[in-house]
Structure 1
Amino acid sequence: MKKFRGKKRYFRNLWRETALDQHNLDFGKEGWFDLWHTHLDFCGLGNNSLKMRREHIKAHISLYTNLLEKLQSFGKPYQLWIELNVDAGSDAVYIHSPNPNEDNFPVKIEHINWACPVPKYIQDSVNLGEFYVGHRNGETDKYYVIQSKADRSILKNPLS
């Protein structure tokens, strides 16, 4: 495996992407989200080491927290969650709301085990006192769903 050069610049740019002004999002009266999501580790660099994976998870949590704060004044129902996949390149933060594209709100994420054992690399990056972590076996992948305990969005969460 080649040495990862430019790591400092890479992570500086990664943390810059957690700021909302880096994304073209409309939180105004006419705004809506149709399963909008972003992958902060699109290239899957978090697959190379746990240290890099943890840093990417922390960046996803930071973006999620910034979005949650902004959505408090959105004035419409919404869903906000993080998905952590086996492949780090598929990790993403999602926002969903009623939208004109399709009558698919609320999106139903079924069969989430909210009482699952949480892997150490997630425990190291996520404050379990502030966030719920659930596990789901999807059609093609297994992944973890993360949602803030303070979030008032309507992802079905049996622990709240």
Structure 2
Amino acid sequence: MNRDASPMDRRQRTRLLARWAKAYASAVRSVDRLDLNTWFDLWHTLIDWRSRGNRHAEGLAEIARLTYALLQHAEQRFSARNAPIQIFASVCEDTGSNAVYVHSSNPHGTPFPREFPNVQWGVDAPIELNGIVDTTVHRIGRVHYTDETVHIIERKGLP
């Protein structure tokens, strides 16, 4: 992640926190509009569509925090669902790629549950997630790609 991002001044921080709160609320509404009884083929939503969190050190942690909060919201929303579902989050070096996914058996044949063959589970949280993820409930995995490292967060023991 862009650990050399510059610090925000007070006005920038206030403006960006308000923008991200609005983006978070929009993502929550997207999750809330989903039909609990339908199928999902890696449906996902983002908080930081324009990667603004990459510009400032505080943004990295804030977008990671909001992504985790959205994961928890989606899990709560689908807790009443009768059919198996998989909900997970990705926390990426580019905050614009942080996402929460909802996945189930589907007619497209996308494997369910989604496997993460190259993910190393049980790793320490990246600095942006320190103190945020409840590791008694969720597990954190890490996968290295050619151009970035991605952390996956999912509920332990599901689906």
- TM-score range for the pair, normalised by the shorter chain length: 0.7 to 0.9
Return closer, same or farther for 1:36/1:87 CA change in 2, 3 Å cut-off. same
Name 2:123's counterpart in structure 1: 116
Counterparts of 1:104 and 1:22 in 2: how far apart (Å)? 22
2:34 maps to 1:25: yes
Could you give the per-residue CA deviations for residues 10-67 of structure 1, whole angstroms, max 9, x where no partner exists?
Answer: 1330331353466531113xx1111001111111111112211211112111211111
Name 2:108's counterpart in structure 1: 101
**Among residues 6, 17, 24, which one is paired with 1:15 in the alignment?**
24
% of aligned pairs identical?
Answer: 23
Return closer, same or farther for 1:10/1:121 CA change in 2, 3 Å cut-off. same
Letter in 1 for 2:134: N
Which segments of 5 or more consecutive residues in structure 1 lack a partner in the other structure?
Answer: 155-160
Counterparts of 1:132 and 1:109 in 2: how far apart (Å)? 13
User: SS in structure 2 opposite 1:81?
Assistant: strand
**Among residues 96, 99, 106, which one is paired with 1:89 in the alignment?**
96
Task: Give the TM-score, by structure 2 length.
Answer: 0.79
Of Structure 1 and Structure 2, which has the larger fraction of its residues in helix? 2
Return closer, same or farther for 1:59/1:18 CA change in 2, 3 Å cut-off. farther
Shift of 1:121: 1.9
Letter in 1 for 2:36: F
Q: Which moved more, 1:81-90 or 1:126-135?
A: 126-135
Shift of 1:8: 4.7
Could you give the per-residue CA deviations for residues 136-156 of structure 1, whole angstroms, max 9, x where no partner exists?
Answer: 12465420011234xx533xx
Q: Is the 8 A contact 2:20 2:48 kept in 1?
A: no
Which segments of 5 or more consecutive residues in structure 2 lack a partner in the other structure?
Answer: 1-5
Shift of 1:100: 1.8
Letter in 2 for 1:27: L
Runs of 4+ in 1 over 3 A off after TM superposition: 3-6, 20-24, 127-130, 138-141
Could you give the per-residue CA deviations for residues 86-135 of structure 1, whole angstroms, max 9, x where no partner exists?
Answer: 11111100110011222522221112212323222211433334431111
